[in-house]
């Protein structure tokens, strides 16, 4: 008998002739996530991925693996020969262990016979194993509707016994889709937007806009912490840091006060598109915008912003309620950093009454007062590039 970890993936199985590509991506990412824990065998078999965990820290392995996109369920299991007496004893020992560690009193057996040459059918396996446990564990009773624990028995070319199914995040493995460039601020929304888009298989780079020295060094450190948290899920990536202050000063001097937010936003999008095309090889921009949340996120404002770029703009939060976004931020570990009270570039020259229904033709007239190309060129020439490396956090 040996310990093993069973990894199940979801929609990857529906990928037809491309399925192997997605599976290989997933195996590669699992191996990378646990590479520093030892020489751990990881392999595909029977539409699953197995990690031979005997002698290794299973808790650490599970904590690493469950953050990998594409995985829907994880189980710590015992792999053993297809010997029915051994299977019954092992299942009984698992119930005894759960009683000692977690105080469980009720159980049920859920069996799956993949190897049809095994003489007992799945219901018969469950009945026989459950009967053996009842005979040998005085503290255990059966509850098929609401048990404290379920003992799973699978008969394949080998047998597997496990008592847990840990949920993963699902989605697709990172890098199985194209690359996107995330506009990453220090707020709650944009890290969640990057995480959601990465869950659909996109590789992510990020661009961050600041207004130093009007915004503090602590504000930049806050964004760096958010980037580090994202790297745990999406892997190493580049972050491009742009000082937007010279552009904001020009807008403040030459345009109407109420246009500051929307024109600044259009500059951010233009700069991000330039980086995406010429530096990051990204095929889309990603933002944390949600309809009606602030002045720059009304439908009219989004239309005016969209018109500044040709690349598609992915907005995975567009119809989400703020409470749902906050809960997801808590789940992925970015919320506590996002609410630290350090200002970002959007607070600089903030108009008292920003436009909520901008008219594109008027915004274009105002932008004509600015040397847009020169301002963008100067911002990009002076940007900083930092690699956020996953190796620093595992």
Region of residue 175 (phi > 0: left; psi between -120 and 50: alpha; otherwise: beta): left
CA distance 175 to 349: 39
How are beta strands 149-155 and 42-45 bridged, if at all? unpaired
- CA distance linking residue 124 with residue 115, whole number of Å: 14
Percentage helix, strand, coil for the chain under 3-state DSSP, each rounded to 5: 45, 20, 35
Block residue for tokens 């570990």? 333
Cα–Cα distance, 168 to 68 (Å, whole number): 8
Helices 260-275 & 360-367 angle (0-180, nearest 10): 80
Burial (0-12, 13-18, 19+ Cβ within 10 Å), 85 = exposed
Whether the ω angle into residue 155 lies within 30 degrees of 0, i.e. cis, is: no
Q: Say whether 265 counts as a known binding-site residue.
A: yes
359 is in an annotated binding site: no
Both structure tokens of 258: 């109420």
Q: What b-and-e string marks burial along 335-354, b requiring 16 or more CB atoms within 10 Å of the CB?
A: bebbeeebbbbbebbeeeeb
Asked if residues 316 and 226 have their Cβ atoms less than 8 Å apart, the reply is: no
Answer yes or no: is 183 a known binding residue: yes
Enumerate the known binding-site residues: 183-184, 208-209, 265, 288, 297
Enumerate the known binding-site residues for ATP: 183-184, 208-209, 265, 288, 297
């Amino acid at each position: 008998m040996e310990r093993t970890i069973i990894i199940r993936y979801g929609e990857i199985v529906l990928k037809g002739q491309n399925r192997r590509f997605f599976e290989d991506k997933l195996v590669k990412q699992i191996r990378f996530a646990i590479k520093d824990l030892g020489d751990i065998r990881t392999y595909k078999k029977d539409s699953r991925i197995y990690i031979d965990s005997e002698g290794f820290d299973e808790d650490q392995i599970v904590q690493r693996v469950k953050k990998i996109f594409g995985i829907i369920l994880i189980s710590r299991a015992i792999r053993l020969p297809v010997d029915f007496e051994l299977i019954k004893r092992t299942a009984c020992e698992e119930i005894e262990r759960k009683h000692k560690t977690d105080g469980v009193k009720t159980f049920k057996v859920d069996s799956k016979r993949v190897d049809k040459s095994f003489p007992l059918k799945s219901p018969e396996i469950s009945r026989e194993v459950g009967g053996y446990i009842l005979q040998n564990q005085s503290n255990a009773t059966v509850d098929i509707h609401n048990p404290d624990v379920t003992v799973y028995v699978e008969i394949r070319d080998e047998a597997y016994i496990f008592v847990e199914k840990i949920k993963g995040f699902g989605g697709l493995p990172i890098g199985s889709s194209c690359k996107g460039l995330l506009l990453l601020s220090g707020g709650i929304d944009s890290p969640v937007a990057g995480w959601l888009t990465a869950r659909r298989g996109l590789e992510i780079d990020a661009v961050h806009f600041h207004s130093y020295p009007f915004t503090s060094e602590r504000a930049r450190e806050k964004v760096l912490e958010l980037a580090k948290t994202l790297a745990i899920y999406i892997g190493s990536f580049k972050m491009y840091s742009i000082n937007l202050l010279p552009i904001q000063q020009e807008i403040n001097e030459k345009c109407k006060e109420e246009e500051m937010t929307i024109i600044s936003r259009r500059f951010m999008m233009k700069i991000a598109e330039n980086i995406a095309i010429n530096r990051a090889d990204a095929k889309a921009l990603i933002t944390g915008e949600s309809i009606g949340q602030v002045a720059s996120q009304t439908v009219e404002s989004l239309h005016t912003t969209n018109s500044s770029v040709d690349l598609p703009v992915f907005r995975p939060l567009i119809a989400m309620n703020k409470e749902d976004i906050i809960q997801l931020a808590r789940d992925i570990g970015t919320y506590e950093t996002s609410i630290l009270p350090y200002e970002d570039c959007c607070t600089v020259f903030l108009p008292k009454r920003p436009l909520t229904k901008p008219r594109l033709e008027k915004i274009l007239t105002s932008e004509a007062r600015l040397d847009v190309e020169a301002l963008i060129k100067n911002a990009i020439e002076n940007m900083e590039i930092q690699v956020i490396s996953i190796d620093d956090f595992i």
